[in-house]
């Protein structure tokens, strides 16, 4: 494996770990917790009038955006890691 391949493999693994962490960190809307990209839940607490619906919509939007971000980072990490793992020096085939 070449040094470039090792660097790509490490970078890919770092991206994968970053995606895992980003998927498990809690998403918040103001003072309300919405859960994580992996395990979302409805915001809890007392709400004024139609604030519950508005906060739920904001939570849904933030959770969806976080899931897209985690998916993109994860896919890029896997592609970079696989490309790094298969980066070998060309062998001399004359012989």
Domain count, the chain: 1
In a domain, 91, yes or no: no
**Partners of residue 43 on adjacent β-strands:** none
In a domain, 90, yes or no: no
pLDDT of 43: 72
pLDDT of 79: 93
CA distance linking residue 93 with residue 89, whole number of Å? 12
> Which residues span the domain enclosing 13?
3-85
Closest Cα partner for 73 from 45, 37, 47, 44? Answer: 37
Q: What is the pLDDT along the chain (95 residues), one digit of tens a residue?
A: 788 888 988 999 999 999 999 888 888 887 888 888 777 777 776 766 777 778 888 888 888 898 899 999 999 999 999 988 887 776 545 54
pLDDT of 19: 92
pLDDT of 91: 58
pLDDT of 90: 60
In a domain, 68, yes or no: yes
In a domain, 94, yes or no: no
In a domain, 61, yes or no: yes
Beta-carbon count within 10 A of 76 CB? 15
In a domain, 29, yes or no: yes
């Amino acid at each position: 494996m070449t040094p470039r391949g090792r660097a790509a493999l490490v970078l890919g693994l770092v991206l994968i770990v970053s995606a895992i962490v980003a998927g498990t960190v809690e998403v918040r809307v103001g003072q309300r917790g919405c859960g994580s990209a992996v395990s979302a839940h409805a915001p809890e607490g007392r709400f004024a009038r139609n604030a519950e619906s508005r906060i739920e919509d904001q939570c849904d939007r933030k959770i969806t955006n976080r899931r897209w971000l985690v998916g993109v980072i994860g896919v890029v990490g896997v592609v970079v890691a696989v490309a790094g793992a298969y980066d070998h020096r060309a062998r001399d085939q004359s012989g």
